[in-house]
Chains A and B, each alone.
Chain A
Amino acid sequence: MSDAWPVAADILLDVNDLVVHFPAGRRGMFGKPSKVHAVDGVSFRVRRGTTFGIVGESGSGKSTTAQAVMRLIPATSGQIVFGGENIAGFQGERLRQARRKFQIVFQDPFSSLDPRRRAGDLVREPLDLLGIGSPKGRDARVSRLLAEVGLPPQAADLFPHQFSGGQRQRLCIARAMAPEPDLIVCDEAVSALDVAIQAQILNLLKKLQRERGLTYIFISHDLGVIQHFCDEIAVMYLGKIVEQAPAPVFFSAPRHPYSWSLVAAAAPPGPLRTRLKAQFLVKGDPPSPVDPPPGCRFAQRCPFVIEKCREEPPVLAVTGPSHFVACHRVNEIEAPNFTASD
């Protein structure tokens, strides 16, 4: 694999210092208003035709990042350069036109589909809304899309409740692909499915990527799925990226203490898992994202914390080819041994 810094033309999405804060009421009657620091200075680049994975605990800001990038919620600050243009400030018609280039698939296919509309209409809707193709051309496109995601032609006339969970997710994928986007965000898109259907949907997404050069942002809390599906991985903790690397690099030698906890929890059963869990699995819940403390956000739970960690926030710095880690002690603490011999 090449370690060269990607050239600009390769980059579909370049997110720069993205911040998303939500209001969280006030502390006391005269206190200053508190804020939820959902996403706090996140930067990453996604190459065309590849899959960028985001992992992290519940509440770490994965969905908020994706939704801000897709302009579904307002960013507090930051740049979102998509296909060479900063779309962060786009409004009105410009935003509407830009939107057709990125689509999203959610975890719960049931709540994201209007139960009163037939499958064919659901897939056709984004084409109508965006005025893509002639009305006749749209019909042909809908049948083609249903076939591509592996649904039979009769499916067009059925309502969402008449599909199984896996079929509903296929329908959501067909709908997301309808406007021929460049980027599809999959937010826990396979998390509610059982292993057998999950494998079918992941293979379908891979096939579509190969055939159409699609780019994915893939959010999941299942590291096994992430490893099989993603080219690049970012680990989020309380609104920040704490580690980022190409998948093979990350899984052969993760470097952040929080990443060690994640892999310990997901390691295959056996002596390796037992050892990793005993050494690295963090306990308790993450601290609140409302007015987080200064310093490293992982400090409260980190087994390697020192005084400096509580005072100064570590920055995401290069530690190897395409490998970024945010930890003051990255060069001091000994990395775990991932060979299963004991």
Chain B
Amino acid sequence: MSPVLSVQNLSVAMKGASGIVPVLEHLSFDVAQGKTMALVGESGCGKSMTALAIMRLLPEDFVVTSGRVLLDGENVLAAAPQALRGLRGNKMSMIFQEPMTALNPLYTVGDQIGEVLRQHRGLGRRDATEQAIGFLKAVQIPAAEARVHAYPHQLSGGMRQRVMIAMALACKPKLLIADEPTTALDVTVQAQIFDLLSELQDDTDTAIVLITHDLGAVAELADDVAVLYAGRCIEKGSSQEVIAHARHPYTRGLMACVPHLHLGPAAANVQRELEEIPGMVPPLGARGAECAFLPRCAFAIDVCRAQPQPPLDVVDAHAAVSCWRHREIAP
């Protein structure tokens, strides 16, 4: 079956005073119906830029310099404005990192969900409100009949994020992009939102691109994962495989940084010092042709310095990795 979303050789650059600077370089991945693809990586690696490029919502000064984004076989990047508007509501939608900036403070949540339904499904006002209540119930907002008349500021952070999900799903999109949907929320609510997303996915068979730096969420929710570093995909594969056998030094470093919770008997011997990856992601414009992780990599040798970014080497059906030494240094 052909994938719902196919990102092929996507590159994005920023036009600056000193010329054009690469932001994303040659990204490729597919997401099938009912499947979830996670994009992970440190802050500034290009996760949100990837999402915005797919939605054709890149900020000013950012341009696509290569590649195609196929949604159900149709190239989003070539779509005319009219067609694009149809695609955005009906076929793909996005949940943003900060729900407060994405909701309009002047309208009730019912009006905002209703507006989506009226525009994209041609429903009348009364029917739209009726259905909006249904959506609020689907995302488990208590007292939905009353809350449909609430303004965003009258809801807690968790409820606002659930409203965003309700809006994003109102048109039953084929593709949902969720950009760190829970980072601003506390753990109990995070767990509720993740459960909700996977339940809704079971019902609707939506393809999901989940952007997160929570590797626990990846293990639980995602079928596949792509690890980004400095705008390049440096490892990808099934989430089971990548989490159990991370091959790239960066992916391994990321996993080692996470302070996992140890419960019961395991709580007695928790290591107090955390592993860390020294240094930081190179900013835009400071990225050379060689392996982007080189300055921070404990395994770097002259070979890495002498050659360009290693290609994604396909290890097997479940894993591919961009590192000259991945076979030698495999754990």
Contacts and interface: CB of A to CB of B under 8 A. Distances in A.
Given A199-B257, A206-B272, A265 B187 contact: yes
A11 interface: no
B274 A227 contact: no
Contact of B254 (A59, A196, A337, A339): A196
Q: Which has the most chain B C-beta neighbours within 10 Å: A166, A227, A261?
A: A227
A110 interface: no
Per DSSP, chain A at the interface is helix
Interface centre among B44, B142, B159, B267 (most CB of A within 10 A): B267
B238 to A, nearest CB: 15
Interface in A304-328: none
Contacts of B216: 268-269
Contacts of A198: 257
A25 interface: no
B253 interface: yes
B275 interface: yes
A269 B219 contact: yes
A282 B259 contact: no
B127 interface: no
Interface in A102-155: none
Interface residues of A, number: 52
A284 B213 contact: no
Interface in B268-284: 268, 270-278, 280, 283
B253 to A, nearest CB: 7
A77 interface: no
Contacts of A283: 140, 192
A196 B157 contact: no
Contact of A285 (B159, B213, B265, B274): B159
Contacts of A285: 142, 156, 158-159
Contacts of B278: 200
B157 A58 contact: yes
B267 A268 contact: no
Contact of A262 (B140, B188, B254, B276): B188
Contacts of A222: 187, 259
A223 B186 CA distance: 10
Contacts of A266: 187, 261
* B interface majority secondary structure: loop
Contacts of B144: none
B156 A228 contact: no
Contacts of A227: 259, 261-262, 267, 270
Given A195-B258, A206-B272, A228-B272, A265 B42 contact: no
Contacts of A251: 261-263, 267, 270
A203 B271 CA distance: 12
B190 interface: yes
Contact of B263 (A57, A203, A221, A267): A267
A62 B188 CA distance: 16
A28 B46 CA distance: 52
Contact of A224 (B43, B190, B219, B258): B258
Given A194-B43, A262-B187, A269-B220, 13 more contacts: A194-B42, A195-B254, A195-B257, A195-B258, A198-B257, A199-B276, A202-B274, A206-B272, A206-B273, A229-B259, A264-B191, A283-B192, A338-B266
6 contacts: A58-B185, A165-B43, A166-B280, A228-B270, A262-B188, A338-B266
